[in-house]
Chains A and B, each alone.
Chain A
């Protein structure tokens, strides 16, 4: 299960809407070894494409150095699909199953296919789904949104890897 606070959830959705029709991407960092997505880090989609995303190679290095300095890791890696459903594509699965990709990562997929810009209308929801991807196998997981991560969450429920 992915437990994520409302502000971070909203920030991911807002990023996806803003970059629509291109795919948006980024990570949510948290203390290394934990399941706590605490620090929203939007990244530039170096591909600037409606069908592909990638972290720029230099940006990726800078990100991981920063995470390392803070003793953090990427709890969540998110990206948007802008014309298809919020389900990992074959390309997504390939990268997520790469030999250096951590299978403990939560892959969040957001789809803006029905609602690119915010309409303010009832039902104006983008799809927000989360997955684990291990050796090419995709399993969807429940997403629980808590109002405030720090207060809405008891440390006794943290599952440490």
Chain B
């Protein structure tokens, strides 16, 4: 078992074109580190230099937006499904 991660179209350049990849870790931060070791450059797209999740990116563990569950400290486990999406917003 592993954690399945859905990758948005533009970030598939880091995953050889794959829509989904697998990774492991106890927290979202650890999972992203693991993914970055296999798909170089992914972490830079998701995590800022200050070590925070990029504000224009939404990450979900199963159906939960991690903004409400501890962001990068969110616990993850085998069998979870993680989805990464671009936030869609703006204003005049």
Contacts and interface: CB of A to CB of B under 8 A. Distances in A.
A32 B10 CA distance: 12
A13 interface: no
A100 B65 CA distance: 16
A16 interface: no
B84 A100 contact: yes
B90 interface: yes
A51 B91 contact: yes
A119 interface: no
A-side binding surface: helix, strand, loop or mixed?
mixed
Interface residues of A, number: 42
Contact of B91 (A73, A91, A96, A100): A91
B56 A73 contact: no
B21 to A, nearest CB: 14
B-side binding surface: helix, strand, loop or mixed?
mixed
A79 to B, nearest CB: 6
Interface residues of B, number: 28
A137 B60 CA distance: 29
> Shortest 10 CB-CB distances between A and B: which pairs?
A98-B56, A54-B89, A52-B91, A92-B90, A100-B86, A101-B86, A99-B45, A102-B10, A57-B65, A55-B88
Interface of B: 6, 8-11, 19, 44-46, 54-58, 60, 63, 65, 67, 83-92
29 contacts: A47-B89, A49-B91, A53-B90, A54-B87, A57-B58, A57-B67, A58-B65, A60-B58, A61-B83, A68-B6, A68-B19, A81-B92, A82-B92, A91-B89, A94-B56, A95-B86, A95-B87, A95-B88, A98-B54, A98-B56, A98-B86, A98-B87, A99-B11, A99-B45, A99-B57, A100-B58, A100-B84, A102-B8, A102-B10
